[in-house]
Structure 1
Amino acid sequence: MKKILMAKVSSTILEACIGAKEGEKILIVTEPEKLLISESIATIAYQMKAEPIISIIVPRENDGQEPPQPIAEAMKSSDAFICVVGKSITHTHAVKNAIANGSRGIVMTQFSEDMMIHGGMQADFKQLKPICMSMAKALENGKEIRLTTPYGTDLSFSAEGRRGNALYCMVEKGEFSTAPTVEANVSPIEGTANGKIVADASVPYIGIGLLDEPIYLDVNNGRITSISGGRQAKILREDLEFKNDENVYNIAELGVGLNPSCRFIGLMLEDEGVYGSVHIGIGTNITLGGNVKAACHYDLIMTQPTIVVDGRTVLKDGEVVL
C-alpha cells in the first residue's frame, strides 16, 4: 500500500524536480533500507519512458564520505541522479564532479517512507522559487553578515565574493538541490566567522535529532573552539573529536529554511527546510562555493533568527522581510 501512496511524490520528484525526459538515464543511488522508495521512483521513471538505473551501495560510515568510485563515475555520466540514502553523500567530490559534467541531481538524505506521503514534498516549489532566489541573492557577496537569535546566537562573518545558493527542489542541467528542504545559503569566507552559536531546534545527524536542550558553540576565526550543553552536546563534541580532522570545525554554511510545508521531525532535509529556521553548517563547504573538504558536514538548526547583511535586515525573528 505504501508504494501506491508514494507514487504521487515520486511523480513530483521526476516531473517537477528533475524534469525527466523520455530516453534519459536516471541513476538512483540508494541503500538497502531505502529500496522501497527507490523502486517507487524507478517505476514512475519507467512509465515516463526514461531509463531508471538503481545502484545499491553499502551505507557510508559517515555523512560526507565519498560513494564508491564506480558510483561516482555513473553519477558523472548520468543525465540525472537521485540520491536516496541514509548517510549523506551531498557534500562530496562525486556530486560536485557530476554537476560540473552537466548532470542534474536531487539529494534525498534520510528520506523516510512517511516523507514520501506527508510533509515538505507537498509544497509548491514553483511558487517558492522566487522567494528562495531572492534570499540567496541577498546573502551573496555579503561583506558583513550577522546572525542573532533570542536564545543567544550571535555570529558574524564575511561572504564577500561568495555566491548565494538557491535550493528549491527544481534543477536544470549542471545543478543539484536537496529535497524537500527549500533553502538559500551562502558559505562564509574561511577564517572570518566569530561569535556564538546556540542550536535550539535540531542537529539531524549521528542520532541526535530534535534537541532536548540547547547546544552552545563558541566560534573564533572561522572555527568552533568549544561545545557545551547536555547529553546531545556531548554526542556532537565526541563525534567531532573522533573524526581527528580539524576541518570538521570549519564554519561552512549559513542556510535559511523557506519551506512552509516542512516540520521538525528529527530528519535532516525536513528539519533544515522549516520556514524561518536557520542552520549553520560545519565542516565541508566545497559544494557551496568554499574550498574545505572535511570528514563530515553537519547542520546546527535554530529558530526565531534575525539576519542582517551589510546593514540590511533580510530575516527578522524567523520571518522573511525582503
Structure 2
Amino acid sequence: MENIYMSRGASKVVNTCMKVQPGEQILIVTELSRLSIAQALAAEVYRVGAEPAVCIMEPRTQDSQEPPKEIAAAMLASDGFLSVVGKSITHTQAVKSAIAAGSRGLVLTHFTEEMMVHGGIEGDFETLKPLCIGMAQAMAGAEKIVLTSPSGTHLEYSAKGRRGNSLYCMVEKGQFSTLPTVEANVSPLEGTANGIIVADGSIPYIGIGVLEEPVTLRVEEGRIVEISGGRQARMLADDLVSKNDPNVYNIAEHGVGLNPKCHFCGFMLEDEGVFGSCHIGIGTSITLGGTVKASCHYDVIMKNASVEVDGKMVLKDGCVML
C-alpha cells in the first residue's frame, strides 16, 4: 500500500525534478532499509520509458564515505542518478566526478516513506527556483558576509572568488540537487570565518535531530575551536573527536533554507530547507566550491536568521529581502 501513496511523490521526482526522458539510463543507489522508496522511483522511471537500474549497497559506516567503486562507475556512466540512502554520499568524489562527466543527480538522503507523501516534497519548485537562484547570486563572490540570529549567532566570513550554489530540487545535465530542501549556499573562503554559531533548530545527524537546547560553536580562522551546550552538544563534540581528522572542523558551507513546506522533524533534507533558517556546514566542501575533503559533512541549523552581504541585507529575521 505504501507504494501507492508514494506514487505521486515519485512522479514529481522523476518528471518535475529530474525530467527523465524516454531511453535514458537512470541509476538508483539505495540500501535495503529504503528499498520501497527506490522501487517506487524505479517504477515511475520505467513508466516514462526510461531504463532504471537499482543498485543496493551496504550502508556506509559514516556520512561522506565514498560508495563502492562499482557504483561510482555506474554513476559516472548514467544519464542521471538518484541517491536514496541513510548515510549521505552527497559530499563524495563519486558525486563530483559523475556531475563533471555530465550526469545529473538528485539526493534523497534520510528519506522516509512519509517524506515521499507530505512535507517539503509538496513545495512548488518551479516558483521557488528564481528566488533560490537570486539568493545564491547575492552570496556569490562576496567580500564579507555576516550571519546573525536571535539566539546569538554572529559569524563573519569572505566568499571572495566562490560560486553560489542554488539547489531548488530540479536538475539538468551536469547538475545535482538535494531534495526536498530548497537552499542557496556558498562555501566560505578557507580560514576567513570567525565568530559564534548558535544552532537552535536542528543538527540532523548521528541521532541528534531537533535541538532540545542551543549548541554553541566558537569559530576562529575558519575552524571550530570550541563546542558547548548540553547533551546534544557533547554528542557532536565526541563524534568529531572520534573522526581523528582536523578537517571535520572546517567551516565548509553557509546555506539559506527557502522551502515553505519544510519543517523541523530531525531529518536532514527537511530541516535544512525550512524557510528563513540558515545552516552552517562543517567538514567537506569540495562539492560546494571549497577545497577541503574531510571524513564527514554535518550541518548545524539556526532559526529566523539574518544575512548581510557586503553591507546589504538579503535575509532579515527569516524574511527574504531580495
Short-chain TM bin: over 0.9
Runs of 4+ in 1 over 6 A off after TM superposition: none
What's the CA shift for 1:317?
0.2
In percent, how many aligned pairs have the same letter?
Answer: 62
- In 1, the alpha carbon distance for the partners of 2:168 and 2:147 equals 22
Q: Which residue of structure 1 lines up, in the alignment, with residue 122 of structure 2? A: 122
TM-score where L is the length of structure 1: 1.00
Question: Residue type of the partner of 1:226?
Answer: E
Alpha-carbon distance, 1:249 to partner: 0.1
- Which residue number corresponds to residue 19 of structure 2? 19
- Provide the C-alpha distance between the structure 2 equivalents of 1:63 and 1:185, rounded to a whole number of angstroms: 19
Shift of 1:204: 0.2
CA distance in 2, matches of 1:116, 1:18: 15
SS at structure 1 position matched to 2:108: strand
How many Å separate the matches in 2 of 1:47 and 1:161?
Answer: 43
CA distance in 2, matches of 1:291, 1:68: 23
Match of 1:299, SS state, is: strand
Match of 2:228 in 1: 228
Deviations 1:266-313 (A, max 9, x none): 000000000000000000000000010000000000001110000000
Cα deviation 1:35-66 (Å, max 9, x = unaligned): 00000000111111100000001000111110
Q: Which amino acid aligns with 1:168?
A: Y
1:127-138 equivalent positions in 2, closer than 5 A:
127-138=127-138
Cα-to-partner distance string for 1:203-248 (whole Å, 9 max, x where unaligned): 0000000000000110000000000100000000000000000000
Structure 2: any 5+ residue segments left out of the alignment? none
What does the per-residue CA deviation read over 1:139-198, in whole Å, with 9 as the maximum and x for residues that have no partner? 000100000011110000000000000000000100000000000000000000000000
- Give the equivalent residue in structure 1 for 2:249: 249
Match of 1:316 in 2: 316
Q: Which residue of 2 aligns with 1:306?
A: 306
Aligned to 1:204: 204
What is the CA deviation profile of residues 4-39 of structure 1, one whole-angstrom value per residue up to 9, with x for unaligned ones?
Answer: 000001000000111100010100000000000000
Partners of 1:201 and 1:263 lie apart in 2 by 10
Task: Supply the AA of the counterpart residue of 1:65.
Answer: Q
CA–CA separation in structure 2 for the residues paired with 1:200 and 1:22: 45
Alpha-carbon distance in structure 1 between the residues aligned to 2:123 and 2:185: 19
SS of the residue corresponding to residue 6 of structure 1 reads helix
Q: Distance in 1 between matches of 2:229 and 2:256?
A: 24
State the one-letter code of the partner of 1:286.
Answer: I
Alignment of 1:106-117 (within 5 A): 106-117=106-117
Residue 158 of structure 1 aligns with an amino acid whose one-letter code is: S
With structure 2 as the length reference, what TM-score do the two structures score?
Answer: 1.00
Structure 1 segment 22-61 matched on structure 2, within 5 A: 22-61=22-61
Match of 1:161 in 2: 161
> In the aligned structure 2, how far is the partner of 1:156 from the partner of 1:36?
43
- The separation in 1 between residues aligned to 2:305 and 2:127, in whole angstroms, is 23
